[in-house]
Chains A and B, each alone.
Chain A
Amino acid sequence: MTKSSKSTNKTDQVWIDRLLASEGATSVLVVILGILSGTLIVALLGKNPSSLFKAIWQAFVGYYNKGKGAWSVGPLGDTLTYAIPYVLCGLSMGFANRVGLFNIGAEGQYTVGMLAAHAFAVCIPAFPGQWLFCMVVAVLAGAIWGGIVGILKAKFKISEVVATIMLNYIALYIYRLVALYLFPAGLTNRTYRTADLASTSILKGVFISESNLNIGFFFMILAVFVYWFIMEKTKLGFSFRATGFNKDAARCSGINDTQAISLSMAIAGAFAGLAGACVLLGSLKFGRIMQGQDNYGFMGIAVALVGNSKAPGIFLAGILFGALRSAYSLMQFMNIPREVVNIIEGLIVIFIALRAGLGKVQEYRAKQKIKKAREQEAAK
């Protein structure tokens, strides 16, 4: 709700002021700073920093594969494939954040989503459209897992931070127990996987056959749209945002804050649950039994931070983190320590926290403007 007010006066704003005032632009700056610092580190290690840029560049456009004599866009496919869970988990974190909650539980919601998808892909015989069915149950499972936290928070005032951390572990061990003992077993010597997933439950690949990019990508885009629409355009989103900013005032004006908290956590969980299904059915494509946490949920926190908990921001941030992850593998060929990527990711999060500094630049520009106006007045 930022446009179309009569009383807006944007005319006297220069684009650069608008850029500084916009949270989106500052996020971009932060990312650039992060990558530049990464460059510095690579240079300090005595490697050629241009390789770092090359890797990130290739993560977006691919590279020329000499062996095949053809252009390979596989890395772009990887970027977008990684972006699916990053964006979805970012949405999970961001959605709760807008309602004033700190959802560290995307990891657990992702895990139960994946478990649900796994169960319906491996325990029932194949039927057409099974993949969609699996996605739906994953969404529901994630929503329930998130909703539990919401209800605990809203009704019993139990900290969502503590509850989600506990539920992350509970989810992981339930996954392992259920998959090991209840699902049809895989081949005898492969204890780390269950029987194969029904072929009808696998997500179809799209666009780039050299990668695992799959139709989950469209669902991710749909989720971004749903997020934006609910949050910014509906009365439900209005009550979420009001609750997020000031729970007491929201309640005093008749908004049901307990409902807003439980419901928003459930919706947050639904996004993460979908991520679980997309990774299992679209990227892994086999009955993997989780050994440890996949960390997509935790990366979602960073994605939401960089994306300012706004739908378009989360989308772009998710793609960016996807690209960094894709560059991670490319760097091996370029003789750069891959850990640089982790460092860049960390730096970006730190710079986000330092965003306040940009306010100073804004202040300086305002000062200059006044000075100019004064001078003009004096000249008259």
Chain B
Amino acid sequence: MSEYAIEMLGITKTFPGIIANDNVNLVVKKNEVHAILGENGAGKSTLMSVLFGAYSPDSGKILINGKEVKITNPNVATDLGIGMVHQHFKLVHNYTVTENIVLGREPRNKFGILSLDEAEKKVQMLSEKYGLQVDPKAKIEDITVGQQQRVEILKTLYSDSDIIILDEPSAVLTPQEIDELMDIIRLLQKEGKTIVLITHKLKEIKAVANRCTILRRGKYIDCVDITPETSEQELATMMVGRPVKFDIEKKPCNPGEKLLEIKSISVNDSVGVEKVHDLSLDVCAGEIVGIAGVDGNGQTELLYALSGLSPVTKGQIIMNGKDITNMKIRERNEAGLGHIPEDRHKHGLVGGLSVAENTVLKDFYTLKYSGKLGVLMTDRIFANSDKLIEEFDIRSGQGSITPAGALSGGNQQKVIVAREISLSPNVLLVAQPTRGLDVGAIEYIRKRLVAERDKGRAILLVSFELDEIMNLCDRIAAISKGSIAGVFKAGEKTASEIGLMMAGEKSKEASK
């Protein structure tokens, strides 16, 4: 038997205007955890889609366990023992966990009627064996994103996959969930599975991977062994092609007047449960205030209320001295509010429109882009997006006319960030701005946020990554159960102290 579980040799795949994979090799040993590292748009997801049979390559060959195979569709991949957890989950929301897992292979009893009992037992067994706690009978819409991911992993285990592909599994997880995921990966490896892990987080690669293949702009660069000596800096340099700075330099913060005042607001979620409770916080010109907290403590609802997506039940929001509590979203935009939303697919981008149209999504109707009679000025719209594509290094097949939905995940995020920053808002709400971005892009976006701060903008940053918050923010507010547990200057407290506050321990001193 071959030593290798997967050999992808000389794989090439093109899309209109772009070679997503250019003669790429990927060789994965049996029972190893093999990481794939590469910038946004480097072609990682494409390569995995080829392996999984979702795309057929233009050239190249694939060997599984030493045998050459033609993977023409995902069913073939499943039969070969390959399972994939996609970057964007593919679950049916109003089905239960078990129903989703058996979808397509529904077990039937002797009368030909769907029977889930057996399946439920098997799911239960698998979830215990691999430490993937989920309730087999819960509906997908009722469980957290982290649990949904477990369902996706269970799905691959249920069909007895020996090779499991995880495409940016940690991008949607909270730090705690990431730790759990690392344990799960180790357990899977111990049980004899081979794992391909795509991630932008070098820490994760160091933590679990045995080897790592690096791609850059569609090309194979290298495959390296990961040892305790491997440095993150080295990996980052190989991947981006230049040295990357992990810590940003910033000038001392020089806060000005209060630009955003949140005055004891309460907000309900979509089903009417109060998620933000009597919360107050100020953000001044020229500072970045971070909200640190575990997912689900009201961050989402707070941002919804500030951006105008949902109403407050109590309290006031003052921006620039103006009461915006009851303003429509467009009025808030015009008053100088920017928003990089948490859910980029749902709220950030219109996938069917071009990159150009997406860059003017918020101001296409203004005299800048529309004539007096309401006619769009296409030339200006394209000029604007050509400029932003250049400035933010947005990589796509056909530039401005590429549909935003055809961009790689990280490049989609860049389009949103480019749009919001280009509108130069006074107050910028930022949620998870670097989620799914490569280290080079993270460096750039953080730099831009700091530059915005230095221009005197007020920035409110929500992130589940404590690192990001501690790195970027001038002041940090820990949020717990919908209220601020304490506000302090960056550097005043250690990560573990902040962690305690996030867990609900009220700060002794009054805020600030």
* B-facing residues in A1-17 (Cβ within 8 Å): 1-9
Q: Which residues of A contact B362 (CB under 8 A)?
A: 253-254
Given that A8-B398, A363-B56 are contacting pairs, would A248 and B347 also be in contact in the complex, using a CB cutoff of 8 Å? yes
Is A238 located at the chain interface by the 8 A CB criterion? yes
| B95 close to chain A: CB less than 8 A | no
* A361-374 contact mask (Cβ, 8 Å, vs B): 1 or 0: 00100110111001
- Select B376's contact among A21, A235, A244, beta carbons within 8 Å: A235
Chain B interface size range: 35 or more
Whether A155 sits at the interface, judged by CB under 8 Å, is no
Instruction: Digitize B317-347: 1 where CB-to-A-CB distance is under 8 Å, 0 elsewhere.
Output: 0000000000011101100000101000011
Set A239, A245, A250: member contacting B365, Cβ < 8 A: A239
**Which residue of the partner chain, among B12, B365, B399, contacts A5 with CB atoms under 8 Å?**
B399
Is residue B374 contacting chain A, with contact meaning CB distance below 8 A? yes
Nearest chain B residue, comparing its CB with the CB of A367:
B58
The answer, among B309, B329, B370, B401, for a CB contact under 8 Å with A8, is B401
A4–B17 touching, CB < 8 Å: no
How many whole Å from A27's CB to the nearest CB in chain B? 19
**Assembly CA distance A4 to B376 (angstroms):** 14
Shortest CB–CB separation between residue B382 and chain A, in angstroms? 5
Whether B16 lies near A252 (C-beta < 8 A) is no
Contacts of A242 in B (CB 8 A): 350, 353, 357, 361
CB distance from B310 to the nearest CB of A (A): 11
Interface pair A367/B401, CB less than 8 Å apart: no
Determine which of B307, B328, B351, B378 lies in contact with A246 in the assembled complex, contact meaning CB atoms within 8 Å: B351
A233 contacts chain B at the CB level, 8 A cutoff: yes
Taking a contact as CB atoms under 8 Å apart, the answer to whether B329 and A254 are in contact is yes
**In the complex, how many angstroms separate the beta carbon of B8 from the nearest chain A beta carbon?**
16
The verdict on B364 contacting chain A, using a C-beta distance below 8 Å, is yes
Interface of A is mostly: helix
A236 with B350: in contact, given A8-B399, A21-B16 (CB under 8 Å)?
no
Select one of A6, A237, A371 contacting B59, CB under 8 A.
Answer: A371
Residues of B within 8 A of A366 (CB): 14, 58
Interfacial chain B residues near A245, Cβ < 8 Å:
350-353
A370 touches B14 (CB 8 A): yes
Whether A234 is near chain B, meaning CB under 8 Å from some CB there, is yes
Q: Is the CB of B381 within 8 A of A1?
A: yes
- Tell yes or no: A325 within 8 A of B by CB: no
- Residues of B with C-beta under 8 A to A235: 364-365, 369-370, 374-376
Say yes or no: is A249 at the interface (Cβ < 8 Å to chain B).
yes
- Any chain A CB within 8 A of the CB of B348? yes
Mark A1-44 against chain B: 1 for CB-CB distance below 8 A, else 0.
Answer: 11111111100000000000100000000000000000000000
Q: Given the complex of chains A and B, what is the CA–CA distance between A232 and B205 in angstroms?
A: 47
Instruction: State in angstroms the CA–CA spacing of A209 and B16 once bound together.
Output: 50
Q: Which residue of B lies closest to A360 (CB)?
A: B56
User: Residues 354-379 of chain B: 1 if any A CB is under 8 Å from the residue's CB, otherwise 0?
Assistant: 10110001101100011000111011
* Contact B352–A4 (Cβ < 8 Å): no
Interface residue A355 (Cβ < 8 Å from any Cβ of B): no
Task: Chain A residues near B389: list those with CB within 8 A.
Answer: 7
Docked pose: A370 CA to B10 CA in angstroms: 13
Question: Which B residues are in CB contact (< 8 Å) with A234?
Answer: 370, 374-376
B1-57, CB < 8 A from A: 12, 14, 16-17, 56
A241 at interface by CB-CB < 8 Å:
yes
The residue from B56, B307, B354, B378 contacting A4, defined by CB atoms under 8 A apart: B378
CB proximity of B257 to chain A, nearest CB, Å = 26
Q: Are the C-beta atoms of A249 and B386 separated by less than 8 Å?
A: no
Chain A-chain B contacts (Cβ-Cβ < 8 Å), number: 122
- A236–B365 Cα gap in the complex (Å)? 8
Report if A204 contacts B (CB, 8 A): no
| Candidates B332, B357, B379; contact of A238 at CB < 8 Å | B357
Contact A370 B12 (CB under 8 A): yes
A7 is contacted by which of B346, B357, B401 (Cβ under 8 Å)?
A: B401
In the complex, which residues of chain A have a beta carbon less than 8 angstroms from the beta carbon of B374? 234-236
Contact A252 B347 (CB under 8 A): yes
Minimum CB–CB distance for B464 against chain A, Å: 20
Select one of A2, A254, A370 contacting B58, CB under 8 A. A370
A252 touches B399 (CB 8 A): no
Contact A370 B329 (CB under 8 A): no
Once the chains are docked, how many angstroms separate the CA of A1 from the CA of B333? 25
Counting CB contacts under 8 A, is B400 at the interface? Answer: yes
Using a Cβ–Cβ cut-off of 8 Å, how many residues does chain A contribute to the interface with B? 38
A335 CB within 8 Å of chain B: no
Q: In angstroms, how far is the closest chain A Cβ from the Cβ of B150?
A: 26
B84 proximal to A (CB < 8 A): no
Residues of A within 8 A of B354 (CB): 1
Which one of A3, A9, A21, A370 has the highest number of Cβ atoms from chain B below 10 Å of its Cβ? A370
Say how far A132's CB is from chain B's closest CB, in angstroms. 24
The CB with the most chain B CB atoms within 10 A, among A245, A251, A366, is that of A245
Interface string of A172-208 (1 = CB under 8 A from B): 0000000000000000000000000000000000000
Report A143 CB to chain B, min CB distance, Å: 19
A5-B357 Cα distance, complex, nearest whole Å: 12
Is the CB of A256 closer than 8 A to any CB of chain B? Answer: yes
Q: Are B350 and A4 in contact (CB under 8 A)?
A: no
The answer to whether B346 touches A238 (Cβ under 8 A) is no
Contact A254 B330, beta carbon cutoff 8 Å: yes
Chain A residues within 8 Å of B244, by CB: none
Kindly provide the distance from the CB of B164 to the nearest chain A CB, expressed in whole angstroms: 27
- Contact yes or no, B350 A249, CB < 8 A: yes
Q: In the complex, A354→B345 CA distance in Å? A: 28
A302 to B352, CA, bound (A): 22
In the bound complex, CA of A4 to CA of B401 (Å): 9
Name which residue of chain B comes closest to A6, CB basis: B386
Which of A21, A244, A252 has a CB less than 8 Å from the CB of B309? Answer: A252
Of A1, A7, A253, A256, which contacts B386 at CB under 8 A?
Answer: A7
Answer yes or no: B349 CB below 8 A from chain A CBs: yes
- B361 contacts A253, CB within 8 Å? yes
CB neighbours (8 Å) of B59 from chain A are 367, 370-371, 374
Shortest CB distance B419–A (Å): 9
Q: How far, in angstroms, from A80 to B328 measured CA to CA in the complex?
A: 47
**A-contact bits for B282-307, CB 8 A (1 contact / 0 none):** 00000000000000000000000001
B364 nearest CB neighbor, chain A only = A238
Q: How far is the CB of A97 from chain B (nearest CB, A)?
A: 12
Interface 1/0s, chain B 382-393, versus A by CB < 8 A? 100010010000
Report chain A residues within 8 Å CB of B346: 246, 248-249, 252
User: In this complex, what residue of A is CB-closest to B57?
Assistant: A367
B349 contact from A21, A249, A254, A371, Cβ within 8 A: A249
For A7, the chain B residues whose CB sits under 8 A away are: 386, 389, 398-401
A258 to B499 CA separation, bound complex (whole angstroms): 42
A4 — which chain B residues lie within 8 A by C-beta?
378-379, 382
Q: Would you give the shortest CB distance from A262 to chain B, in whole angstroms?
A: 16
How far does the Cβ of B336 sit from chain A's closest Cβ, in whole Å? 13
Chain A residues at the B interface, C-beta cutoff of 8 Å? 1-9, 21, 233-239, 241-242, 244-246, 248-256, 363, 366-367, 369-371, 374
Contacts beyond the supplied A5-B356, A236-B374: 14 A-B pairs with Cβ under 8 Å: A1-B356, A4-B379, A5-B398, A6-B400, A8-B400, A241-B352, A245-B351, A246-B349, A249-B347, A249-B361, A250-B361, A254-B330, A366-B58, A370-B12
Q: List 6 A-B contacts (CB under 8 A).
A: A7-B386, A7-B389, A238-B376, A239-B364, A241-B353, A252-B346
Question: 3 tightest A-B contacts by CB?
Answer: A7-B399, A245-B352, A254-B330
